[in-house]
């Protein structure tokens, strides 16, 4: 399904349950995405209803149209944290950036021109691309099993990119549904936001990688949330771990001279960051600095400019 951003698509999967379809993730709630689904419902999916929608996590490109399918009789299945986050964000519409968000950006050392622009504009709201969500849902938890698509799946929770990110591991044929937890070539964004400014999602990411790695096999076919399906999951899990530690080491060297989050793109991304990527780069920079600070590898102080300055310990 198309996305209006640099990462221009999200993968959604339909599994045949005999008497209906289970969908895993949905795409944004846009006219274009609805039209694509309507075409699929009238064509390849014709004759059987969508009776269940599984959201791997709460991000809008994965859960945006879930409410639309629920209106047509489907059941919503998610982890509790993902559902609570989705419900909260869907109901929280902001006509302008609230003061605490501006303070969060200031403390991150956001570029002054970008910050000034945000002061005067309406922010992106979750509700802009997510259909209204139901009051109730069906919960999935770590270690549970679920059946769909003619397979029995073990449910395992990830983290870091999104809290309690669902992954599914087939007992029957080595198929794995990875969402954004298990991606080929690219890595999931690990960000910190104004809703939880002192969070350490990098620790969550590393812990989830360690927890999931023993279940990875060379011949498993992983269905990711973006890009193409892939094999070689053990190697990818090692790359997730190694690349994260390498980025943290580069960042720690970089802040031998004290710097703000907005000054730290170079060691983390090793390429230029454009306007379209700036927001995601900033929240990822905050996440890595928070990790260094909370693990004792960096000190943090509030400067006269209102920004947090980080220095290697």
Q: Tell me, what's the pLDDT at 204?
A: 98
Q: Which residue has the tokens 């070689």?
A: 232
β-pair partners for 223: 177
- Say whether 83 sits in a helix, a strand or coil: helix
Q: Which CATH class is domain 13-312?
A: alpha beta
pTM, two decimal places: 0.96
Closest CA to 65 of 135, 129, 138, 140: 129
pLDDT in tens, 115-168: 999 999 999 999 999 999 999 999 999 999 999 999 999 999 999 999 999 999
Distances from the Cα of 33 to the Cα of 10, 58, 124, angstroms: 11, 18, 18
Q: Which residue has the tokens 């309690």?
A: 164
Locate the domains of the chain by residue range. 13-312
Model confidence band, residue 5 (pLDDT cutoffs 50, 70, 90): confident
- Tokens of residue 267, six digits: 């060691």
* 186 has a pLDDT exceeding 90: no
Closest CA to 225 of 55, 67, 77: 55
- Tokens of residue 220, six digits: 């498993």
List the alpha helices (DSSP H) in the chain: 31-42, 60-63, 66-71, 80-91, 99-107, 112-119, 201-212, 233-254, 265-269, 275-294
Average pLDDT over residues 282-286: 98
Contacts of 282 (CB under 8 A, 6+ apart): 105, 108, 110, 261, 262
- Tokens of residue 142, six digits: 């770590």
């Amino acid at each position: 399904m198309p996305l209006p951003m640099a990462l221009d698509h999200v993968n959604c999967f339909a599994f045949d349950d005999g008497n209906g379809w289970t969908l895993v993730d949905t795409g944004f709630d846009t006219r274009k995405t609805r039209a694509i689904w309507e075409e699929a419902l009238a064509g390849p999916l014709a004759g059987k209803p969508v009776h269940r929608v599984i959201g791997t996590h709460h991000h809008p490109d994965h859960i945006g149209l879930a409410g639309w399918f629920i209106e047509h009789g489907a059941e919503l299945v998610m982890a509790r944290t993902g559902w609570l986050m989705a419900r909260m964000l869907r109901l929280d519409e902001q006509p302008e950036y609230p003061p605490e968000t501006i303070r969060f950006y200031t403390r991150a050392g956001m570029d002054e021109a970008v910050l000034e622009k945000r002061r005067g504009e309406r922010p992106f709201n979750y509700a802009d691309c997510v259909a209204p969500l139901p009051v109730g849902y069906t919960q999935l938890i770590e270690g549970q099993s679920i059946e769909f698509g003619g397979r029995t799946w073990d449910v395992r929770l990830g983290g870091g990119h999104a809290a309690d990110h669902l992954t599914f591991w087939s007992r029957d044929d080595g198929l794995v549904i990875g969402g954004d937890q298990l991606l080929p070539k690219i890595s999931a964004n690990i960000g910190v936001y104004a809703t939880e400014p002192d969070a350490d999602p990098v620790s969550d990411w590393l812990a989830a990688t360690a927890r999931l790695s023993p279940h990875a096999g060379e011949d498993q076919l992983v269905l990711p949330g973006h890009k193409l399906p892939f094999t070689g999951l053990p190697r990818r899990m090692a790359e997730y771990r190694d690349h994260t530690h390498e980025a943290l080491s580069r960042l720690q060297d970089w802040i031998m001279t004290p710097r703000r989050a907005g000054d730290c793109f170079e060691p983390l991304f090793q390429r230029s960051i454009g306007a379209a990527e700036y927001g995601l780069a900033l929240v990822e920079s905050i996440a890595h600095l928070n990790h260094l600070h909370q693990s004792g590898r960096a000190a943090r102080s509030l400067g006269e400019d209102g920004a947090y300055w980080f220095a290697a310990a």
